């Protein structure tokens, strides 16, 4: 037993102790938050091109041909090369069991292409062109903002202003004034949450069209499109000294 106590003491000393984020003088600890609405200005099209064929060369040739058709189609809408991201070919054999034996049923050749559209006014005609060309069975789209960092910074600034206003209201009830900030963080490091520090900011919104099926009639007129708004939220945690 005489060796147990030193061992336990050594173990406890090895556990990191997190310093308190609070100063040893009068202070106020507040959470500031903000929610802003922004209009999306960018859309990403994700297109999967695939073909299954027992003849691997034929499957690859089909995917390559439709990939070239896709590039030719989007060039008409002024899409720049840097706004097109194409993955390498993915080739895998497909099997099924017949009479307890694994039988090759074909070779699956696929490629994913991500296209960034920066002029949302072109969306209806571009979507129609993609559907008419029958390049892929599904087209997934996602709306976002091009300068996400600037939007996040704007939301964080608004959250800081909210934190200051909250601190001043609380301090006033006690006959105090708010001084300099002691600490500023976008991480909630109170309680057990300090072990799961995640930035408290998020850009939320829904895509205009998700999983568009190619059964759409090629002769259909351009679809109505309203991008709507997205919401950016931010929280900050600030400790202000009181005076």
* Model confidence at 205: pLDDT above 70: no
Determine the 3-state secondary structure of 128 from DSSP.
helix
How would you classify the pairing of strands 230-242 and 178-185? antiparallel
- What CATH class does 23-41+145-215+224-243 carry? alpha beta
Stretch(es) of the chain classified as CATH 3.30.110.170: 23-41+145-215+224-243
- Taking every pair of Cα atoms in the chain, the longest distance, rounded to a whole number of angstroms, is 87
Q: Are 108 and 89 in contact (CB under 8 A)?
A: no
Which pLDDT does position 226 carry in this prediction? Answer: 79
What pLDDT is recorded for position 3?
A: 41
| 101-157: pLDDT as tens digits | 999 999 999 999 999 999 999 999 999 999 999 999 889 999 999 999 999 999 999
Average pLDDT over residues 180-206: 65
Nearest Cα neighbor of 218 from 130, 117, 141, 136 is 130
**Residue 146 to residues 77, 119, 149, Cα–Cα distance (Å):** 18, 11, 9
**Residue 219 banded pLDDT, cuts 50, 70, 90:** very low
pLDDT the model gives residue 162: 96
Residues carrying CATH 3.30.70.2970, the chain: 42-144
Residue 123, token pair as written in the block:
């969306």
CATH of segment(s) 42-144? 3.30.70.2970
């Amino acid at each position: 037993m005489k060796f147990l106590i030193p061992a336990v003491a050594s173990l406890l000393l090895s556990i990191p102790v997190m310093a308190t984020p609070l100063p040893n003088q009068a202070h106020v600890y507040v959470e500031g938050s903000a929610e802003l609405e922004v209009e999306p200005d960018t859309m990403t099209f994700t297109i999967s091109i695939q073909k299954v064929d027992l003849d691997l060369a034929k499957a690859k040739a089909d995917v390559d041909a439709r990939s070239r058709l896709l590039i030719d189609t989007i060039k008409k809408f002024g899409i720049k090369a840097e706004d097109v991201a194409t993955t390498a070919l993915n080739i895998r054999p497909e099997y099924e069991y017949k009479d307890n034996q694994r039988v090759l049923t074909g070779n699956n050749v696929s490629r994913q292409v991500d296209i960034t559209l920066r002029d949302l006014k072109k969306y209806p005609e571009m979507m129609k062109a993609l559907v008419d060309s029958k390049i892929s069975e599904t087209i997934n789209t996602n709306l976002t903002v091009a300068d996400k960092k600037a939007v996040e910074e704007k939301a964080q600034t608004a959250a800081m202003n909210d934190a200051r206003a909250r601190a001043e209201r609380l301090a006033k009830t006690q006959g105090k004034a708010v001084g300099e900030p002691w600490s500023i963080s976008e991480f909630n490091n109170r309680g057990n949450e300090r072990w799961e520090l995640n930035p408290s900011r998020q850009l939320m919104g829904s895509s205009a069209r998700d999983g568009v099926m190619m059964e759409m009639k090629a002769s259909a007129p351009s679809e109505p499109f309203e991008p709507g708004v997205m919401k950016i939220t931010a929280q900050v945690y600030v400790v202000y000294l009181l005076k």
